[in-house]
């Protein structure tokens, strides 16, 4: 990963000048990754596309290119060595002749004019013992209390752990959390414990599908309490809700899934990419809709009712090929009886990356990776402060975020390097400007020092500034957002704050939700 361009203060107080990125993001190289509960590492996707296979994979965040590998080779790496007794749950390692045939077929099937893929690097299969209880997954480092995973993570989707629960967020909409909990079942009496802005997907709620706008809770399902014959599958219900204006950009939302099958994951992908799918006259949604429609038909009616998708032959064939590739790893895991052993949270993260690769053009994914949103805070008059990690300069970031959020954007906090942040006031009509924010930050920042010969403080002008020049800040991204919310957020009457504090004290620390099921 290239070093982020820094917008450094030009004065002792921290005035900041625009800087330009030093490199254009490199193209994504192909690689394949299958991860089980013994592994859980936040990584960045690399994409390659051919007619025969288009796969998204993972690589170390410090590298932007990895050797190409076929899906079969990646799965075969988990098979036992030839000298070991075959494991009924493992995949057999491909023979050299079969591997050569697959490689030759893949090269021959590439798009006309495309550069040939690199030869597949087949790792020697390692011996594997019979499956035992899955190892506890390693949780990624969390930044902030609620909204961010490791700041160095460069994938579109990240795993965050909070209060014993692991979930997936997108770097472009971290206010929408995807929770995948094996066997989760919620009835009418327990759903109130899940709070507002909760969406239960594909069988999590045991009753009929519902839309409760007052409680801001929704169940998108086509199993119980409905006539399945003419009820849309979950992925299509999610698309309809998106088009009807479900306000996913307002507040924190939680998606609940109890089995990450293709229907559930497509629904989650649609909801987690709500902004991108509706932009530019819904161009990306139009591109993805054939696959969503076909999966909806297959999940609701079976593979013999594909005619209901009403797709032309060429579009139908392309959508079927996309779904086949998205189903490949799930089918292998189920065929080898490892589906119930795999780390479903990590699988969900990787499946979302694969969906990006199949349903979005590479240029769109590259543009989204350039602007990774780490968190946000509510400000006065329904504005938001957004914490961004990017290699772009502050003014280019501002331009792109205005396209995304419009008039909702109030303040940008851009992380330009380790301990370095640039603040930019976008809405000039907020009750206060950044000078009030600098004062509040200097009171709580352990590295801020006004007594030094050259003051080391947050500062700048009323609309742009930054962290202390000499040392950077001692605050984390979430702490900066908290200060922005305190200074520029909506004014809460003292009696309401007192009442909230009393209620919190009376209720104690009892969790609002039941503990997650053991993985």
pLDDT at 34: 42
SS3 370: helix
pLDDT bucket at 516, cuts 50 / 70 / 90: low
Q: Highest mean pLDDT range out of 51-55, 93-97, 216-220?
A: 216-220
DSSP 309: G
pLDDT value of position 332: 96
- Distance between CA 260 and CA 327 in Å, rounded? 11
Letter string b/e over residues 384-417, b meaning 16 or more CB atoms within 10 A of that residue's CB: bbbbbbbbbbbebbbebbeebbeebbbbbbbbbe
State residue 502's pLDDT score. Answer: 82
Confidence of residue 202 (pLDDT cuts 50, 70, 90): very high
The Cα 219–Cα 202 span in angstroms is 8
Distance between CA atoms of residues 279 and 22, nearest Å: 28
Computed over every residue of the chain, the mean pLDDT equals 76
Encoding tokens for residue 232?
Answer: 């849309």
Residue with the bigger pLDDT between 307 and 499: it is: 307
Report the pLDDT value the prediction gives residue 517, as an integer from 0 to 100. Answer: 59
Residue 508 pLDDT:
55
Structure tokens at 302: 């079976």
Domains, the chain, ordered by start? 142-360 (no CATH), 368-488 (3.10.310)
Residue 428 burial (C-beta neighbours within 10 Å; 0-12, 13-18, 19+)? exposed
pLDDT of residue 100: 44
Residue-wise pLDDT tens digits, 68-84: 343 444 444 444 443 34
Give how far Cα 82 sits from Cα of 8, 79, 96, 100, 294, Å.
58, 9, 13, 19, 41
Average pLDDT on 306-330 reads 96
Predicted confidence at residue 495, as pLDDT, reads: 83
Ranked by mean pLDDT, the top range of 16-20, 322-326, 365-369, 494-498 is 322-326
* Partners of residue 377 on adjacent β-strands: 385
- Angle of helix 274-301 relative to helix 313-335, nearest 10 degrees, comes to 80
Cα R_g (the chain), whole angstroms: 24
Is pLDDT larger for residue 78 or for residue 257? Answer: 257
Contact 486, 466 (CB under 8 A): no
Q: What is the pLDDT of residue 69?
A: 40
**Computed from CA positions of residues 66, 68, 71, 73, in that sequence, does the dihedral angle turn out positive or negative?**
negative
pLDDT at 192: 86
pLDDT attached to residue 518: 53
* Confidence band, pLDDT 50/70/90 cuts, at residue 167: very high
pLDDT recorded at residue 12: 40
pLDDT above 90 covers a percentage of the chain that reads 56
DSSP 248: T
């Amino acid at each position: 990963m290239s070093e982020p361009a820094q917008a450094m203060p030009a004065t002792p107080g921290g005035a900041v000048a625009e800087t330009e990125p030093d490199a254009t993001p490199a193209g994504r190289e192909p690689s394949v990754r299958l991860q089980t509960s013994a592994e859980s590492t936040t990584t960045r996707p690399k994409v390659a596309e051919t007619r025969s296979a288009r796969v998204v994979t993972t690589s170390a965040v410090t590298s932007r290119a990895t050797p190409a590998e076929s899906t079969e080779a990646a799965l075969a790496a988990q098979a036992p060595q030839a000298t070991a007794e075959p494991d009924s749950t493992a995949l057999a390692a491909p023979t050299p002749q079969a591997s050569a045939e697959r490689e030759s077929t893949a090269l021959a099937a590439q798009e006309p004019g495309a550069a040939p893929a690199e030869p597949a690097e087949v790792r020697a299969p390692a011996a594997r013992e019979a499956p035992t209880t899955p190892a506890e997954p390693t949780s990624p480092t969390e930044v902030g209390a609620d909204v961010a995973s490791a700041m160095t993570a460069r994938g579109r989707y990240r795993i965050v752990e909070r209060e014993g629960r692991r979930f997936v967020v997108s770097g472009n909409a971290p206010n929408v959390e995807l929770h995948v909990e094996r066997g989760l079942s919620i009835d009418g009496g327990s759903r109130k414990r899940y709070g507002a802005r909760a969406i239960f997907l594909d069988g999590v709620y045991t009753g009929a599908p519902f839309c409760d706008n007052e409680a801001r809770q929704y169940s998108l399902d086509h199993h119980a309490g409905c006539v399945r014959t003419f009820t849309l599958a979950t992925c299509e219900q999610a698309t309809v809700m998106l088009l009807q204006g479900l306000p996913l950009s307002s507040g924190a939302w939680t998606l609940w899934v109890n089995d990450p099958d293709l229907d559930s994951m497509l629904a989650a992908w649609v909801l987690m990419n709500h902004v991108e799918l509706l932009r530019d006259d819904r161009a990306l949604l139009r591109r993805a809709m054939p696959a969503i429609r076909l999966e909806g038909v297959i999940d609701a009616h079976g593979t013999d009712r594909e005619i209901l998708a009403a797709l032309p032959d060429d579009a139908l064939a392309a959508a079927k090929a996309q779904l086949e590739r998205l189903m490949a790893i799930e089918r292998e895991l189920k065929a080898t009886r490892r589906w119930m052993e795999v780390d479903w949270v990590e699988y969900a993260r990787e499946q979302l990356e694969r969906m990006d690769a199949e349903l979005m053009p590479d240029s769109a994914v590259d543009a989204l990776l350039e602007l990774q949103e780490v968190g946000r805070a509510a400000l006065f008059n329904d504005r938001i402060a957004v914490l961004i990690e990017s290699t772009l300069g502050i003014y280019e970031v501002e331009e792109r975020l205005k396209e995304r959020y419009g008039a909702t954007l109030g303040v940008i906090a851009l992380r330009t390097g380790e301990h370095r942040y640039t603040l930019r006031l976008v809405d000039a009509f907020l009750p206060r400007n950044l000078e009030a924010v600098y004062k509040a930050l200097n009171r709580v920042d352990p590295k801020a020092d006004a007594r030094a010969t050259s003051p080391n403080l947050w500062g700048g002008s009323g609309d742009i500034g930054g962290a202390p020049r000499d040392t950077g800040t001692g605050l984390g991204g979430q702490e900066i957002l908290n200060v922005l919310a305190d200074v520029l957020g909506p004014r809460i009457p003292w009696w309401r704050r007192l009442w909230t504090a009393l209620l919190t004290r009376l209720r104690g620390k009892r969790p609002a939700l039941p503990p997650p099921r053991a993985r």
